[in-house]
Every structure is written in structure tokens, then in C-alpha cells.
Amino acid sequence: MRRAGFVVLFLVLLPAVTTRLYASDEVQFFAWLRSWAFDRDINFDNEYRHFNATGRYRGFAETFLADERVTEIGRRPNFTPIGSAILWAPFYAAGHAVAIATGAPRDGYSKPYIAAVAYGSAYYGFMAALISGAIAVRLVGRGTGATLAVWFGTPLVFYMYIAPGFGHATSAFAVALFVWTWLQVRDSWSPAGAIALGATGALMAMVREQDAFLIAGPAIDFLRTATRHRLERLKQEPRPTTRLTSVGITAIAGAASFLVCYAPQLAAYKALNGHYGQTYLVTRKMNWAAPHFFNVLISREYGLFFWTPLVVIALAGLIGLALRRVPAQHRDAAWIGALALVMFALQVYTSGSVESWTVAGSFGQRRFVATTPLLVLGLAAIFVAADRWAAIARWGLGMLVALCVWWNAGLMAQFGLNTMDRQRLTLAENARETFITLPMHAPALAWRYLTNRSSFYQLPLRDRAR
């Protein structure tokens, strides 16, 4: 499928975007934008009271409006960074124009504003998929099938279309843009390239703070290049001078660019929390010994490998790439594959360090949506490797990937219909629903989703009573 085909697919799927805010996290992301645009401040009390008054958000008042739930300087907390609001800003402005043109309330809350943010997330998720495919093509020469599989076989699709008010689609985009920039810059490691890489790294960290750990991949790559450069200089000049080298200038340029571009987030922290960092309400939930490192992957109730088994196949591809078992287009593809594994491991580390590592009540291990470009690369790598396999093995791989995509679709349907326990996986029940019940009802459910989507929002009686 060429790029035009992806664009057509994206446009065809736009009616699937859900134009509402679903959860308290979405309210927090949105509150930055509304407060900046209409109040010109960082005081979210009125935004929170507006959304709380709708009655849609259980437990919202206790978390965000209770007298004792304030930051170090007495403001209403906001646990989300500002990057998603920055990326949504052009769409939000377009929503304001639509509100003016249609006569909708111009208050920052009405349908055009919410819809604009939702479509913005869908766009950034699409761009994440497109850029991720381009990364795979650059490294291993193939990316279309892997891009489609990760798009529809991971929670990316959920956070593009079902719950776009979260910051996960924008996170996938920021990480994909960062990785793509890295691959462009590393050919020469020029100061100008380092400035671009620093800027995209800052954006990535502003969209989702934990994604800042992904900077380790390019940092290790740069240190490798710098070490080689140093050894070459020592061969040519046993007593090198102390003058600043081009490598040093590049490092300074990249670091300075990151700090300058990240400054808005630091200013936001200062204004909201009274210091240049997250509120204690967040930091107290972190245990940097990562006690849940393995659980976040293999827990039968919450683990990534059970929520999204496609990840296992993608990681196998990255391992094969790192071990040079995959024919590659790029001379350093194996090295980059190894760094991709390091970057993925760092995402496991941060997710395993959070008190709420289970992300119970959310769809999937959503914090791993940021790894979209790494997963596309890994899946593309195993597809390339499969060219050397027997036909039956290639067929088996294709069927396995298709089953993983259907598993993701089945869990989304169960989650949306409230026919599963939203707090955890119950694998036997989930499998029965996905592979036996759902195929009989899939066409009707798809039609209902497009024509009567609000019916999916009604909680079962047992949930309404909670």
C-alpha cells in the first residue's frame, strides 16, 4: 500500500473517531488547552467543575476538587504534561472557527472544540503509523504490512478512535518523529542535526514525561560515534589539543536545544507546583527500583504480552535484527535494532516503577503505545526474515499476526460493550467472547458503532451502582 492508500484509509475511518472526553486523564490533557486559550492562566478549577457537573466522571471530584487535593502551592493538580495540548492547539483553533461559523457556544467546551481535539489525536496517531512505516522501510526495506498490523493490532487504534482525548496517540507521534529525526541525524551528527534532535526530544518528553528515557537510544549511539572519533584522533595525534571538537559542539548544541525547547514545560511545572517538576501527588507513586518490571509484561491479568500478543512477535523481530538474522537495508540496522530493544526495556522499567502499573480500568497497557515505531520495526524485521522460511511457516506467521489483530479487536469490543471486567483480563472468558461470540455479532456491532455510538456509553446496572 502506497502512502496515498494510507491517506485514503485514514479518511475513510474518520467517522469512527469518538468526539467526546471519556476519562479524567482526558479532562486533564484538555484542561491545559482550554485554560490557556480562554482564561490565560494555569488554574483548572473552573474546567474541572465544568466536567464534574456532567456526572460522567466517577470519583473525579474526590481526586481533583477535594480541598486537600492541591499542589504544593495550593492549585488544582494536573498530572499531565503540556505536550499534547501544544500539538492539539492548531486543531483547537480550527474548532473555535467552526464554533463561530456554526453558532455553537464559543466557550472552549462545546462540541466543535472537543471534536477538534479528537480528530487531532486521530491525525497524530495516523502520522505515527506513517512515520513508523517509513522508519522500517529505511532500515529493513519493508513496512506496509507491519504498519497496518501495529495500527490495528495494538491499543494505538483504541486511543486514536475510541478514546482520543488521552495523550497516547500524540505520544506515539512524538516518539516516531524523534526516532525518524535520529536516523536522519546520525549519518553526520552535525550541530544542526543535533539541534533538531534535541527539539524533537523535548517535544517527546513534554507529551509524556516517561518517554524522555527513550533519549538513551540516540545518546548511546552518539557516544559510540564520539568514542570512535576520539580513538581516530588519538591515532593521528597522540597528544590531542584541548580545543572543542566538532563532536563536543554537536553535543552542546543538542543539549542546549533540548533545554530551550523543554523550558515551557519547566515554566508550567513552576506555575502549577511551585517548583520545576511534578507535584508530590505524582512522585510519591514512583518506586525507581521497578518492582513490577516483569509483571507489567507477563501478568496474566494485566501484562502487556497478554493484552497485546503482537508485541511478542515484534520483539522477536527486533532480537533477530539485533543478532543479524534479518537481511537489512541499512548498514547499522543490527546496532539500531539493539538500541531499539534498550529503548523498549526502558519503557518496561518506567511502567514497572509506577504504583499504578496495572493501569486497571484502562484499555490495555496503554503506556506502551509510545513504542509504536519500535514495534513496527520489529514486526517488519520478522516479515523480512520470513522470506527465507518455508511457505507453511510464512503462512503460520501471517495467521498468527491476524489472530493477534483480531484479539485486539475483540478486547476493544468487549471493553466498549462492558462485557468484560474492565479492571483486568480474564483470559478464558475473553478468548471465548473474541473467537466464538464476537464473529457472529461483528457486523451488527460495527453498524451500531457508526449509527448509534452513544449506546456503547451506557454502563451495565452493576457498574452504575458502583
What is the model's pLDDT at position 462? 40
Q: At what angle do helices 372-385 and 168-185 cross, to 10 degrees?
A: 60
Average pLDDT, the chain: 93
pLDDT higher than 50, residue 201:
yes
- Residue 125 in grid coordinates: 496517531
Block residue for cell numbers 580513538: 231
Tens-place pLDDT, residues 291-326 = 999 999 999 999 999 999 999 999 999 999 999 999
444: burial class by Cβ within 10 Å (0-12, 13-18, 19+)? Answer: exposed
226: burial class by Cβ within 10 Å (0-12, 13-18, 19+)? Answer: middle
Tens-place pLDDT, residues 354-413 = 999 999 999 999 999 999 999 999 999 999 999 999 999 999 999 999 999 999 999 999
State the pLDDT confidence band at 457, using cuts at 50, 70 and 90: low
Distance CA 65, CA 213 (A): 32
Q: In the chain, what are the domain boundaries?
A: 3-388
User: If we measure between CA atoms, which residue out of 216, 440, 235, 220 comes closest to residue 345?
Assistant: 216
Q: Tell me what percent of the chain is helix, strand and coil, each rounded to the nearest 5.
A: 70, 0, 30
CB contact set of 17 (below 8 Å; sequence gap of 6+):
118, 119, 122, 160, 161, 164
Q: What is the CB neighbour count within 10 angstroms for residue 396? A: 13
Tens-place pLDDT, residues 44-90 = 999 999 999 988 888 899 999 998 899 999 999 999 999 999 999 99
Query: For the whole model, what pTM was predicted?
Result: 0.94
- Residue 12 in grid coordinates: 475513510
State the pLDDT confidence band at 150, using cuts at 50, 70 and 90: very high
